[in-house]
Amino acid sequence: MEQEPFHVVRSAGRVFNTQKEWCEYLNKVCSGETYRIVTSFGKYDFNDCDVCLTPDVMTFEIKKHWVFVTLKWCYCGNGLWSYGYDYSIGNGGGCSGCPYADTTDDPESYRNGYKTKEECIIAVCDRVIHLLGNEAGNNNKEVQRLIDMVINYKKSIQKPQPVQLSLFGESDF
């Protein structure tokens, strides 16, 4: 029976079969550098932990009491998109980096990806709306304003793109 590898850097296709191999690799190449790029897909750079270091971002903030949310998304080079987020509501918050995605069939997996950029952005909006909704249990008006900002952004992503119609079709004149 074949043993599962200890660690796989999926974005770079590297396999480490034992903890010792992984630690030796990290000691050799990283030397304390936590943001080392191991692979890139276009403008999206990934580190050894399969986290995108250069995602696209959209930030919403309320200039009072340190209340904000940052949505993040990136392309994984394999036809899938991934998301992450940061949020703070003054007395609490949370975050998640954009992990390299290599599956679409398990929405509970941190490696779950989305087939389109729009689908990914809608998913991160839904996740953050859910998280902020749980945090706004005390009817915090600032958090509710933040939720409304994310809802409006999500709606703007879901709007169909206008199509230019032509009365006469294609012509040479």
- For the entire predicted model, the pTM comes to 0.80
Residue 126 or 89, more confident: 126
Residues 7-33: tens digit of each pLDDT: 888 888 888 999 999 888 877 776 655
Do residue 41 and residue 65 come from a single domain? no
Task: Provide the domain count of the chain.
Answer: 2
Q: How confident is the model at residue 67 (pLDDT cuts 50, 70, 90)?
A: confident
Does 111 lie in the same domain as 74? yes
| CB distance 55 to 43 below 8 Å | no
Residue 100 sits in the same domain as residue 148: yes
In this predicted structure, the answer to whether residue 144 has a pLDDT above a threshold of 60 is yes
- Res 170: pLDDT: 56
pLDDT in tens, 83-117: 999 998 877 889 999 999 987 777 777 778 999 99
Tell me the C-alpha to C-alpha distance, in Å, between residue 10 and each of 72, 95, 162: 20, 22, 38
Specify whether 74 is located in the same domain as 36.
no
Indicate if 75 and 130 belong to the same structural domain: yes
30 with 69, same domain: the answer is no
E-assigned strands of the chain?
7-9, 14-16, 39-41, 44-46, 56-62, 67-75, 81-89, 93-96
Residues 125 and 40 placed together within one structural domain of the fold: no
Per-residue pLDDT for 141 more than 90? no
Q: Is residue 2 part of a domain?
A: no
Do 143 and 92 fall within a single domain?
yes
**Is 51 within a domain?**
no
Query: Tell me, what amino acid is at 143?
Result: V
Q: Are residues 22 and 69 in the same domain?
A: no
Question: Hey, is 145 helix, strand or coil?
Answer: helix
For residue 22, the enclosing domain spans 7-46
